[in-house]
Amino acid sequence: MGMCMASAQKTNYYDILGVSQSATSSEIRKAFQQKARKLHPDINKAPDAEERFKEVSEAYAVLSDEQKRRRYDASLNGNPFMSQSPYGSQDPFAQGGFSTPDGFDLDDFLRAAGFGPNIGFDFFTQNPSSTSSSESLHEFAYQDIEGKDITVLLHLDDKQAKQGCTKKISYTHFVACDACHGLGAQEELQTLNCPICDGKGTLELDFVMLLGMSSHTMVCSHCKGSGKLIVNPCANCAGSGRSLKKDTVEVLVPTHTHDGHRIVLKHKGHAGTYNKPAHDLIIECVVASERLIAAERLGARCLGFVIPILAIGLYTNTLYYNFVFPAILVIIGTTTLCKRGIVHPLGWWRNAGKAGYTPLLISFCLTVVPVVIRKLLGL
């Protein structure tokens, strides 16, 4: 306590934070956030950075509390009837992490600013803070999320696809929370601005580097970028208003169903947060035999396989694509696409010193498979 009083008598907390004595609580909080980012020892490597950081934190601990601030203002004005100590009978630095009545926690602020999960505010004690309220508040950030479709594959054989059938499908999706009926809170949904980012959803960090200052913007991990926190969140759904549920539905597959056919079940997909409507469950039918037939129509049963051979005409300024089949080829014709090839590697001297695109020659070939080979292979 003697240390705190000595500091209070020698320095002016308003001057430390750079605000006037008539500053509002939001102005004081904003000034502290800016000072804390610049003076944190992990960023500012100046010899006196840690000591100045302690002074800024001490000043904010007093000026952010209305009762302590009144006592401190009275001591500045020389009122003998007020307590000389702005802290009263309690020492704000008795524990590793301190929190103020307006909900701002320095441990949470430093952790949200990206200084590590276990940094703790332990400049005034030798014991690091073990827990932080941000670990629970992370779950209760206000997240405005719409519903989403779910796509499930349903495999059918030829008989099921032709005659139709009834199938049961099990899947997991988000539904409205049973405990809070989708509200996300115990009674009614109430939100407050995030005290770490002042409702902006982002934090601006100033880093002291060798050549000067560098600014970086990051998403506030306290509110997950929404800028809001939920008051009295539901413990069952962690304040989201929805929870995961495993469900089973019966799907009526119509007759003459083909591969790729889609069956849509309305409002059976993922529900959004805070009673936002659920989207659809989309069932995509897969008929393996039809996929093989479609592949055959594209030429999958041709004898052998296609081998692309790339030949670069170094001396003719021409790019050739020849498709060679392990069978008999009959060339039908050739077409030329000007300026569709590649840049000629020797174009700097073959084109009067100007590198240009080579023409692309495409040959159309007809593959002739002998009848004897077709019979042997059963084609």
Element (H, E) at 319: strand 318-324
In angstroms, rounded to a whole number, what is the distance separating the alpha carbons of residues 223 and 141? 5
pLDDT at res. 247: 92
Tokens 């992990």 found at: 42
Average pLDDT over residues 254-275: 90
Q: Which residues pair with 152 in a beta bridge?
A: 283
Plot region of 200 (φ>0 → left; ψ -120 to 50 → alpha; else → beta): alpha
Q: Residue 281 above 90 pLDDT? A: yes
Please answer whether residues 358 and 317 qualify as being in contact, where contact means their C-beta atoms are separated by less than 8 angstroms: yes
Average pLDDT over residues 33-61: 81
109 to each of 57, 221, 318, how far by Cα in Å?
Answer: 12, 9, 65
Q: Based on the number of CB atoms within 10 Å of its own CB, is 329 exposed (0-12), middle (13-18) or buried (19 or more)?
A: middle
pLDDT band at 374; cut points 50, 70, 90: low
CATH superfamily of the 150-190+231-287 domain: Urease metallochaperone UreE, N-terminal domain (2.60.260.20)
- The mean of the pLDDT values for the chain is 67
Tens-place pLDDT, residues 61-74: 888 888 788 878 87
**Which range among 1-15, 73-87, 102-116, 262-276 shows the weakest confidence by mean pLDDT?**
102-116
State which of 130-144, 153-167, 327-341 shows the largest mean pLDDT: 153-167
Higher pLDDT, 354 or 129: 354
Q: Residue 149 above 80 pLDDT? A: yes
* CATH node for 12-77: 1.10.287.110
pLDDT band at 253; cut points 50, 70, 90: very high
Higher pLDDT, 247 or 41: 247
Retrieve residue 205's tokens.
Answer: 């960090």
**Which range among 223-227, 254-258, 358-362 shows the weakest confidence by mean pLDDT?**
358-362
Higher pLDDT, 53 or 120: 53
Higher pLDDT, 373 or 143: 143
Q: Residue 330 above 90 pLDDT? A: no
The count of residues in the chain is 379
Neighbours of 360 (CB within 10 A): 17
Q: Residue 3 above 80 pLDDT? A: no
Tens-place pLDDT, residues 4-37: 433 334 478 888 888 888 888 888 888 888 888 8
pLDDT band at 196; cut points 50, 70, 90: confident
Per-domain residue ranges of the chain = 12-77, 150-190+231-287, 294-377
